[in-house]
Structures are given as structure tokens and as C-alpha cells.
Amino acid sequence: MEPKVICVLVMALALALSSLAQSEGETCQVHPDSRSNCGYSGITETECERKGCCFDNKVVGVPWCFYPEPVGDPADEEC
């Protein structure tokens, strides 16, 4: 196979796996104040995502590499 074809297949697989992981009950839509650090100072986006964590460096002063938030049924939560 040509290197370009392999690259496209790898990218498609990565996208499919990332969407599958999020559909299994976790989301990266975590309020910045609620983030739990999953990395270390200077961690790259690739290293963070390899750990199964979320990466968002748009907000200063909060963890950029953080654990995803479990998605649950709101009816299961207590007030």
C-alpha cells in the first residue's frame, strides 16, 4: 500500500475510536473549574489523549489535560 493510503486509514481509525470512546459514557465537556488533572506540566495533546484524557488549552489557570466526565442518567442522581 502507498504511504498516503495508510496515513488516511490510520486517521480514519483514530477518529472512529475517539468517537466510540466518547459514546461509551464519557465526555470532554467539563467545566474548567471542575477539571481533575490527568497530566503534568508541559504534557502534549498527544500524550494526554494516549492516557485516555481530554486536552483543552483554551483556559489559563486550570488543568489542560483532564479526566473526562462520566455521562450518566440525570434521573439516577440525587438532589
Per-residue pLDDT tens over the stretch 19-62 = 444 445 789 999 999 999 999 999 999 999 999 999 999 999 99
**Is residue 51 in a domain?**
yes
**Is residue 38 in a domain?**
yes
Whole-Å CA distances, 35 to 9, 21, 48, 72: 33, 19, 14, 17
Give the integer Cα–Cα distance in Å for 55 and 66.
Answer: 7
pLDDT band at 13 (very low <50, low <70, confident <90, very high): low
Q: What is the pTM of this model?
A: 0.59
Look up the CATH number of the domain holding residue 50. 4.10.110.10
Q: How many domains does the chain have?
A: 1
**Is residue 44 in a domain?**
yes
**Is residue 77 in a domain?**
no
Give the integer Cα–Cα distance in Å for 50 and 73.
Answer: 27
Closest CA to 67 of 40, 41, 28: 28
Q: Provide the residue range defining the domain that includes 59.
A: 3-71
**Is residue 10 in a domain?**
yes
Give the integer Cα–Cα distance in Å for 51 and 49.
Answer: 5
Specify the pLDDT at position 7.
62
